[in-house]
Amino acid sequence: MNPVRILISILVGLMLVLPQSADAKRGQMGGKMGGGAASKTNPMRPDASRDIQEKAGLFNTGLKPVYPATAKCLEVKSLFGDTTRYDGSSRVEWANSGYHNGFDISADEGTPIVAIAAGEVVHKFTGGRLVGHQIILRHAPADTGLPVWIFTKYKHFDELPALEVGARVEMGQVLGPSGNTGTVGGHFGAWGYPHLHMSVYVNDTGEYRSIRRSAIPKDVRFLDPFAVYLKGPPKPFDNHAVKALSDDAKVVRIPYKRTDGKVVPQGTKLVWPFMCAPR
């Protein structure tokens, strides 16, 4: 790394951390949950300690996707828990100690991103580096058939989705066009890197509070996004248990919505965040 790049990293790091502290204070005063969730004990904060994030499940789980043979789906290029980007370069240390808190799917600008399940829009935000235009959905157990509440975060939209907070979305509904917002500068340079970053968070109650930059689920845990598609049994929703699965149980077949509207397999309540073209 040359000195200019190091200086830029430090400055951008400060920009990311300092406004967040102010948000956290506002959130503590105005939020219903009060207390510790806004402090550094919140594992969603990029500056939370490695120890706190690891306890909340931020590590590579070893899940292995199997993409459909009869349709062409955009594939994950950087896994959850990876310390590298799609091109093998190292992630910045100042965010999540360098660990990837979601997965990345490379996609041309303008490719429609779809909701992976029915749910409710709970947050919209436009931020700077590593954020860009983003939206967060909350999915109840009835939406997904899963025994937990999940929150899905989609980042780097070309434009902020028009959906309002509180709106319901259907599984496979288009949220907006993918883009490169929040990726320009730093490693990716002036052109950025067009991709979808998707994170999945889990809790048992669906409770959350909103600060300016994000929705923060109460007692939040990270989940490898592939884990929502596990068929099981067993079908764990805790990354510690996911990591402990046998190699056979770690194989994940990707359900998806086709570009012609058909859903595969029929009856699934969860789909891939991009539609897949029939071959």
Contact residues: Zn ion, CB under 5 A: 104, 197
Measured from the CB atom, the residue of 85 and 221 that comes closer to Zn ion is 85
Measure Cα distances from 119 to 75, 122, 272 in Å.
23, 9, 15
Shortest Å distance, C-beta 156 to Zn ion: 8
24/244 Cα distance (integer angstroms): 34
Shortest Å distance, C-beta 104 to Zn ion: 4
Shortest Å distance, C-beta 231 to Zn ion: 25
Measured from the CB atom, the residue of 105 and 275 that comes closer to Zn ion is 105
Residue 235's contacts (CB-CB under 8 Å, 6 or more residues apart) are: none
Measured from the CB atom, the residue of 85 and 139 that comes closer to Zn ion is 85
Shortest Å distance, C-beta 15 to Zn ion: 18
Shortest Å distance, C-beta 182 to Zn ion: 10
Measured from the CB atom, the residue of 143 and 224 that comes closer to Zn ion is 224
Q: HEC profile for 145-205?
A: CCCCEEEEEEEEECCCCCCCCCCEECCCCEEEEECCCCCCCHHHHHHCCCEEEEEEEEECC
Helix (H) or strand (E) holding 122: strand 119-126
Measured from the CB atom, the residue of 129 and 197 that comes closer to Zn ion is 197
Alpha helix ranges (H) inside the chain? 3-30, 50-55, 141-144, 239-243
182/197 Cα distance (integer angstroms): 10
Measured from the CB atom, the residue of 104 and 143 that comes closer to Zn ion is 104
Measured from the CB atom, the residue of 12 and 71 that comes closer to Zn ion is 12
Tokens matching residue 105: 């799917």
Shortest Å distance, C-beta 77 to Zn ion: 9
Q: Which residues pair with 71 in a beta bridge?
A: 278
Shortest Å distance, C-beta 108 to Zn ion: 17
Residue 81's contacts (CB-CB under 8 Å, 6 or more residues apart) are: 58, 59, 60, 61, 99, 100, 224
Measured from the CB atom, the residue of 197 and 221 that comes closer to Zn ion is 197
Shortest Å distance, C-beta 102 to Zn ion: 5
CB-neighbour burial class of residue 51 (10 A; exposed 0-12, middle 13-18, buried 19+): exposed
Whether the ω angle into residue 177 lies within 30 degrees of 0, i.e. cis, is: no
